[in-house]
Amino acid sequence: MAHGLDLPRGRGSGTNAPVKTFAAEARNRPERSAGLFARLGLVLLAGICLAGLAGCRSGGRALIVAGSTSVQPVMEKIAGAFRKTRPDLRVDIEGGGSSAGLMAIRTKTAALAMSSRELKQNDPQEAGLWRQILALDAIAIIVHPDNPVASLSLSQIRGLFAGSVKSWKEVGGADRPVHILVREEGSGTRSAFEELVMKDGKAETPIDDYALVQDSSGGVREVVRGDRDAVGFVSMGALNPHVKAIAVDGTPPTFETVRGKRYRLVRPFFLAALQPPAGDAADLVRFSLGSEAARILQTEGLVGVFE
Amino acid sequence: MAVDDLRRREERIRLALLCLAFSSVLVLALIILFVFREGVPQILKTGIPAFLAGSRWAPTKGAFGIFPMIVGTVQVTLGALLIGVPLSLLSAICLSEFASRRVRTVMKPLIELLSAIPSVVFGFIGVTVIVPLVRETLGGSGFSVLSAALMLSVMILPTVTSIAYDALRAVPASYREGALALGATPWQTVTRVVVPAARSGLVTAVILGMGRAMGETMAVIMVAGNAVVVPTSPLHPCRTLTSNIALEMAYAAGAHQKALFATGVVLFVMIFCLNSLATFIVRRR
Least CB–CB distance from B225: residue in A1, A27, A212:
A212
Amino acid letter at B244?
N
**b (16+ CB within 10 A) / e for A96-132:** bbbbbbbbbbeeeebbbbbbbbebeeeeeebeebebb
Query: Please, are residues A257 and A100 in contact by the beta-carbon 8 Å criterion?
Result: no
**Does residue A37 have a pLDDT over 80?**
no
CA separation for the pair A205, A170 (Å, rounded): 19
Among all residues of chain A, which has the CA nearest to that of B136?
A227
Contacts of A74 (CB under 8 A, 6+ apart): A135, A237, A296, A297, A300, A302
pLDDT of residue A18: 43
CA separation for the pair A76, A297 (Å, rounded): 11
Which residues of chain A are within 8 Å of residue B108 when distances are taken between CB atoms? 4
- Give per-residue pLDDT as tens, A122-138: 777 788 889 999 999 99
Average pLDDT over residues A8-12: 39
CA separation for the pair A179, A161 (Å, rounded): 9
**Does residue A32 have a pLDDT over 60?**
no
In terms of DSSP bridges, do strands A62-67 and A90-96 run parallel, antiparallel, or are they unpaired? parallel
For residue B229, the SS3 value is coil
pLDDT of residue A26: 43
CA separation for the pair B69, B230 (Å, rounded): 8
Of B115, B111, B134, nearest to B224 by C-alpha is B134
Least CB–CB distance from B227: residue in A97, A206, A211:
A211
Test A33 with B13 for CB contact under 8 angstroms.
yes
For residue A172, the SS3 value is coil
A13 pLDDT band (50/70/90 cuts)? very low
- The torsion angle over the Cα atoms of residues A194, A195, A198 and A199, rounded to 10 degrees, is 150
pTM as predicted: 0.77
What is the DSSP-derived secondary structure letter of residue A113?
E
pLDDT of residue A304: 85
In terms of DSSP bridges, do strands A112-115 and A62-67 run parallel, antiparallel, or are they unpaired? parallel
Which of B251, B257, B263 best tests the A interface by mutation, with the highest count of A CBs <10 A? Answer: B251
Whether B108 has its CB under 8 Å from any CB of chain A: the answer is yes
pLDDT of residue A307: 54
Test B163 with A215 for CB contact under 8 angstroms.
no
How many Å lie between the alpha carbon of A253 and the closest alpha carbon of chain B?
26
CA separation for the pair B199, B222 (Å, rounded): 35
Of B76, B115, B94, B92, nearest to B244 by C-alpha is B76
Q: Which range, A59-63, A182-186, B60-64, B261-265, is most confident?
A: B261-265
Higher pLDDT among residues A266 and A96, named by residue? A266
**Does residue A3 have a pLDDT over 80?**
no
pLDDT in tens, chain B (285 residues): 578 888 999 999 999 999 998 998 999 999 999 999 999 999 999 999 999 999 899 888 888 999 999 999 999 999 999 999 999 999 999 999 999 999 999 998 999 898 889 999 999 999 999 999 999 999 888 999 999 999 999 999 999 999 999 999 999 999 999 999 999 999 999 999 999 999 989 998 998 899 899 999 999 999 999 999 999 999 999 999 999 999 988 777 788 999 999 999 999 999 888 888 878 877 775
Question: For the ranges A27-36, A171-180, B213-222, B267-276, which has the lowest average pLDDT?
Answer: A27-36
What is the DSSP-derived secondary structure letter of residue A237?
G
Test B115 with A1 for CB contact under 8 angstroms.
yes
Test A4 with B109 for CB contact under 8 angstroms.
yes
Beta bridge partners of residue B225, listed in sequence order: B238
Length of chain B, please? 285
Query: Please, are residues B140 and B134 in contact by the beta-carbon 8 Å criterion?
Result: yes
How many Å lie between the alpha carbon of B284 and the closest alpha carbon of chain A?
24
Long-range contacts of A195-200, Cβ-Cβ distance < 8 Å, separation of 24 or more: A195/A267, A196/A139, A196/A264, A196/A265, A196/A266, A196/A267, A197/A139, A197/A154, A197/A157, A197/A158, A197/A161, A197/A233, A197/A265, A198/A158, A198/A161, A198/A162, A200/A155, A200/A158
Which residues of chain B are within 8 Å of residue A177 when distances are taken between CB atoms? 139-140
Test A97 with B226 for CB contact under 8 angstroms.
no
Whether B1 has its CB under 8 Å from any CB of chain A: the answer is no
pLDDT of residue B1: 58
Could you give the angle at which helices A22-55 and B2-46 cross, rounded to 10 degrees? 40
Test A215 with B221 for CB contact under 8 angstroms.
yes
Least CB–CB distance from A213: residue in B163, B227, B253:
B227
Test A211 with B256 for CB contact under 8 angstroms.
no
DSSP for A52-91, please give it: HHHHT---S-EEEEEE-TTTHHHHHHHHHHHHHH-TT-EE
Contacts of A86 (CB under 8 A, 6+ apart): A280, A283
- Give per-residue pLDDT as tens, A203-256: 889 999 999 999 888 889 999 999 999 999 998 888 899 999 999 999 999 988
Instruction: For chains A and B, count residue pairs whose Cβ atoms are closer than 8 Å.
Output: 95
How many Å lie between the alpha carbon of B141 and the closest alpha carbon of chain A?
6
Test B236 with A210 for CB contact under 8 angstroms.
yes
pLDDT of residue A62: 85
pLDDT of residue A68: 86
In terms of DSSP bridges, do strands A130-143 and A303-304 run parallel, antiparallel, or are they unpaired? antiparallel
A48 pLDDT band (50/70/90 cuts)? low
Which residues of chain B are within 8 Å of residue A179 when distances are taken between CB atoms? 141
